[in-house]
Structure 1
Amino acid sequence: MHPDRLVERLSAVVGPAHVLTAPEVRASYETDFTGRYTGRSRLVVRPGDTAEVAAAVRACHDLGVPLVPQGGNTGLVGGSVPGPDGDEVVLSLRRLTSVGPVDHGAQQVTAGAGTTLADLQRYVRSQSWEFGVDLASRDSATLGGMLATNAGGERVVRYGTTRANVAGLEAVLPDGSVMDRLAGLPKDNAGYDLTGLLVGSEGTLAVITRARLRLVPRLPHRVTALLALDSLEAAVALLVTLRRLESLELAEFFTADGLRLVMEKTGLPAPFRTPHPVLVLVECAGRHDTAGELAEAVEHPSVREVAVALRDADRHRLAAYRERHTEAVNAAGVPVKLDVTVPLADLAGFVGDLPGLLAGRARPYVFGHLAEGNVHVNLLDVPVREEEAVTEAVLRRVSQAGGSISAEHGVGRAKARYLHLTRSPTEVAAMRAVKSALDPGKLLSPGTLLGSCPPSPTPDR
């Protein structure tokens, strides 16, 4: 195929200004947020609505050109960037930013895949609603990427992952046809749950263009507390008490090492005069004052010190100690990021085993979502020759515990070869069958999720 043929077809769809071919212009679309995953695209196309997405996908399908859907490019596993061969088109969805009126009766709103989480939050909050999912990367993460990876974030303990907050989708299938499931019906059992299937599929089955999102009432009373503890075992024990709070929205953890790095790289002052091994960030929200309820809970004997905030500015200040971890780690180097889930009973054991697993080959920083046993393992100073061995050692330990190698950021390209550690041969075969049925040409997100997974893996569970 003459390269100009694809350019001509796509230019006719989106206009020449939105077909990016110059290497220096494509560059920002070819490297992900971590700086670790970089590829080379044939070109970048930027459609402005669903019809243009469908036409662009159809053009690539007709010419046999693989493509990679991309939102805010804040992914951590290489799933949002092209491979190294230069034969893939990056399909940027950042222009799909339309947001419809809030349906107050249904408690829903329809928004485009390119809408950032922060923009959606501002819009629905102005009408006394909230979207239940929240992320530290809210200013750059787009809904399309959140849907594709089934993002979790900070408020899963109360509202669930992204999938639980989606009432319907509009998506373009690999042949360019459009699936419209935006009615948002609370009861609709006619056949397979295609919306649920596409959420978390990492762009391998369809290109999500719009979503019908569930909203929750904006709660007027909030209180945030930072708790100092002696160990992760104590934090897990405290969680039992915290879960009894009807108002609990958030329970995050980090360690003294991570706090020191955050203070060093951001200039934040120490939250307490005395250092403590483990810190837990808690937030409660309700229709009535929740401060008393939280105060009673944090009288737990394992809590050594407490900092409490009621005003928004003070709450954001406390939250920054947890939310700025990613920024601080990235400022210290290019990390190997391993987002995993382990059973809560094994959380402290898993973190305690990391130094032995790493055997001096990396400098670990861990933080995450306490209530879900979701640990963000960030490894700095890993020699290139050791990256695969270190990754495998950590992920095998997760598998042996009955955990998951991917908690909320997807499998992407980075973990595709390890999928068999957390999914059985039967499950992988079923996934491949679904992929083949919807995308027989294997044109959507090649290399992501199933691309490097052995067809017949040996179980290691």
Structure 2
Amino acid sequence: MQMGNSSTFLDAARELLGDRGLITDPELVEPWLTDWRGRYHGAALALASPATTDEVAALVRLAREHGVPIVPQGGNSGMCGGATPDPSGEAILLSLRRMDAVRDFDPALRRITCDAGLVLQTLHERVAEEGLRFPLTLGGKGSATVGGLVATNAGGTQVLRHGTMRALVLGLEVVTPLGEVFSDLAPLKKDNRGFDLKQLFIGSEGTLGIVTGATLALVPAVAERVVAWVGLDSLENARALLLTCQGRLRGELEGFEVLPEHCLAAVVDHLPDARRPLGEPQPWNALVELAVEDKDKVADAREALETVLADAFERGLIADAVIAANEGQAEDFWQLRDTIAPAEKALGPAVQHDISVPEAQMPAFLASIAPEIERDYPGTKAVGFGHLGDGNIHFHVLAPPEAAPAWVEEEGKEISAQVYERVTEWGGSISAEHGIGQAKLGELARLADPARLDLLRRIKAALDPDGLLNPGKLVTPTP
């Protein structure tokens, strides 16, 4: 690697990519320099948009020759600043959005191979034409790309049945930090040629390689979903209901979300036409979804869920429940769940934590951490909601009324440090599905097991010896 001036690099990059593939106009680059939450803002030499994998590989080799850092970016919808460059302006942003082709689609085998820049919503629409679906969705599906989903090992509300991206990726194509193309797109069920290298890149946040293509698993489209809203006295009862549903509705149980009364009240106040699904407020609410793929089995699924809920009522696990009468009502139930974040944002400043603990310990963990935070930081309100079935809870701490603007950066950071310490003590993770990025870089270095950190650093140094691929994200350099 030889350090060169930026103009020499940009001239060579423009010759490689053409005017469409290299944007240097500051006004055009500016929108991509800030993360989705607006918390991180950086600078960049340019925005590169290669059209092929070969162009990506050539650009990486060129950047390495000139010592230019590369920040890969998908839909720029991440939650931890993992695709935002630092303020130095020395890096180049690498966008895969021009690479959005479907390379191969085999409906009979239920798999699709596509470019990394394909937008999730477009993927959904394409496979739906053949009566199939890609069983992962999230709020940013209109901008999130396949490459970004792979790089962050995205999850969502369907993990309970189908798993995270790790379970859905059958093959990968990756450009390494040395500019080599690693192609492992063939969906082999048996392959014992050593390490499963594709898994190394899934969840690596663009620090080990640039995902340029993926082969993904598909499942049959949903003929109809059966959705219930359930009121409960406690999170412990919600956990017991989940276990019952998993035992008796395993084949079709796809979602099991929980939210406390505080979250539901905030949503009802926030949405003009929102209505409570149940007559009386309950301390906790569960949103249960069955995804039925066979139209002839919809009635049986509804009856099975009714039976489970009736039995749970008799056992004292639930206080009340209602099953959506139609798709419109089911969508209304999900809108209540999906509007929690904006509804709580309207209440004022807060610090959010995307955390996980072993599923069986989730009720006890929340019962411990919420009162601890509210005691140590008077005036705050601590609430947890999210994916009970996979141990992932979104734990938000709302600022006291009329808190100063600096609250998030001062007391809020102290609260987050305490939350992450407790999560670590409980054997959990400080990042369940959003990644580390730059937001949690310091906390991972502070709290992670030394052996884990050492392995992360060794792998990073081995694959990216010059440290040019997405620097300052996920893992800190060896001290």
Alignment TM class, shorter chain as reference? over 0.9
Alignment-derived partner of residue 304 in structure 2: 293
Aligned counterparts of 1:345 and 1:360: Cα–Cα separation in 2: 29
Match status 1:207 vs 2:210:
yes
| Aligned equivalents of 1:89, 1:361: Cα separation in 2 | 44
- The RMSD of aligned alpha carbons is 2.0
The 8 Å contact of residues 49 and 95 in structure 2, kept in 1 or not, is answered as yes
Aligned with 2:102: secondary structure?
Answer: coil
Q: Mapping of 1:393-432 within 5 angstroms?
A: 393-420=418-445, 423-432=448-457
Confirm or deny that 1:149 pairs with 2:152. yes
Match of 1:282 in 2: 288
Partner letter of residue 130 of structure 2? Answer: Q
- Identify the range of structure 1 (290-299 vs 358-367) with the bigger mean alpha-carbon deviation: 358-367
Structure 2: unaligned runs, 5 residues or longer: 400-406
- Please state whether the residue corresponding to 1:223 is helix, strand or coil: strand
Contact conserved, 1:34 with 1:330, CA < 8 A, in 2? no
Q: Quote the Cα distance in structure 1 between the aligned partners of 2:276 and 2:288.
A: 18
Unpaired stretches in structure 1, ≥5 consecutive residues: 457-461
Q: Which stretch has the larger CA shift, 265-274 or 254-263? A: 265-274
Query: Matches of 1:393 and 1:117 in 2, distance apart?
Result: 35
User: 2:472, 2:135 → 1: CA distance?
Assistant: 31
Number of the residue aligned with 2:49: 46
Greater Cα radius of gyration, structure 1 or 2: 2
Report how far residue 341 of structure 1 moved: 0.3
Are the equivalent residues in 2 in contact too, given 1:36–1:334 (CA < 8 A)? Answer: no
Partner of 1:371: 389
Q: Secondary structure at the match of 2:89?
A: coil
Measured at CA, do residues 67 and 266 of structure 1 come closer, stay the same or move farther in structure 2, by a change above 3 Å? farther
Matched with 1:324 is 339
The aligned residue for residue 459 of structure 1 is none
Inter-partner Cα distance in structure 1 for 2:381 and 2:144:
27
Rounded to whole Å, the distance in 2 between the matches of 1:337 and 1:12 is: 44
The match for 2:354 is 339
SS at match of 1:338: strand
Larger displacement relative to structure 2 (212-221 or 321-330): 321-330
2:354 counterpart SS class: strand
Q: Which residue of 1 aligns with 2:403?
A: none
- Give 3-state SS (helix, strand or coil) of 2:410's partner: helix
Equivalent residue runs for 1:236-255 within 5 Å: 236-244=239-247, 245-246=249-250, 247-255=252-260
- Report the Cα distance in structure 2 between the residues aligned to 1:357 and 1:92, rounded to whole angstroms: 40
**What is the TM-score with the length of structure 1 in the denominator?**
0.93
Q: Distance in 1 between matches of 2:20 and 2:346?
A: 34
Instruction: Say if 1:265 and 1:57 are closer, same or farther in 2 by CA, change over 3 A.
Output: farther
Output aligned runs, 1:43-122, within 5 Å: 43-122=46-125
Secondary structure at the aligned position of 1:65 is classed as coil
Identity over aligned pairs, percent:
38
Structure 1 window deviating more from structure 2 (265-274 vs 175-184): it is 265-274
- Structure 1 residues 75 and 337: CA distance shift in structure 2, 3 A: farther
The answer on whether the counterparts of 1:340 and 1:406 sit within 8 Å (CA) in structure 2 is: yes
Cα 1:143–1:329 change in 2 (3 A) is: farther
Q: Distance in 2 between matches of 1:327 and 1:340?
A: 19
Amino acid at match of 2:395: V
Partners of 2:235 and 2:363 within 8 A in 1: yes
Q: Give yes or no for contact 1:342–1:402 (8 Å, CA) kept in 2.
A: yes
Q: 5 Å matches for 1:195-234?
A: 195-234=198-237
Work out the number of aligned pairs and report it.
454
Q: TM-score with structure 2 length normalisation? A: 0.89
